[in-house]
């Protein structure tokens, strides 16, 4: 008993003469969500893409010594809540940050959210021209 497989032509030949669409296999999948690209050069804070905006406050370039951790959520998706110190009293806006997020003037990466606070890691260059990593631990405070 032998099994033979005949080689068919290109898939576009299947629909030839049956549809007015030139290349039906080249069309976008209607059930797949469109790709959303984030514009890094945008002037609008919270802009995700053209016409889509977010009302979540975004933390910009701030000094790491002005960050105050006011709470953390430990679980599957860890989150930390921070405020910016302005003198003796923190600011009114609470920011939500997650692991892997960049923040601060030197793009410090939030490496870990722990029950007692957060750990930030930033890359710097020492006086010998070698790259170093500085870890900053910010504990939870009132």
Q: Which residue ranges make up each domain of the chain?
A: 64-139
Q: What pLDDT sits at residue 6?
A: 54
Q: State the architecture of 64-139 in CATH terms.
A: Roll (2.30)
- CA-wise closest residue to 62 among 101, 99, 100: 101
pLDDT at 115: 92
Mean pLDDT by 10 residues, the chain (142 residues): 52 66 75 70 54 68 85 91 76 84 86 92 90 92 82
| Predicted local distance difference test score (pLDDT) of residue 12 | 44
**Per-residue pLDDT, 48:** 52
Residue 79 has a pLDDT of 92
Q: Cβ of 95: how many Cβ atoms within 10 Å?
A: 20
């Amino acid at each position: 008993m032998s099994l033979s497989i005949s080689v068919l032509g290109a898939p576009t030949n299947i629909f030839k003469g049956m549809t007015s669409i030139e290349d039906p296999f080249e069309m976008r999948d209607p059930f797949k969500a469109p790709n959303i690209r984030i514009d890094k050069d945008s002037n609008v804070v919270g802009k995700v893409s053209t016409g889509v905006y977010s009302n979540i406050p975004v933390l910009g370039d701030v000094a790491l010594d002005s960050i105050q951790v006011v709470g953390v959520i430990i679980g599957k998706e860890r989150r930390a809540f921070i405020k910016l110190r302005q003198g003796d009293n923190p600011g009114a806006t609470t920011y939500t940050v997650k692991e892997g997020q960049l923040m601060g003037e030197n793009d410090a990466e939030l490496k870990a959210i722990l029950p007692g606070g957060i750990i930030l890691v930033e890359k710097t260059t020492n006086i010998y021209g070698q790259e170093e990593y500085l870890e900053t631990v910010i504990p939870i405070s009132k």
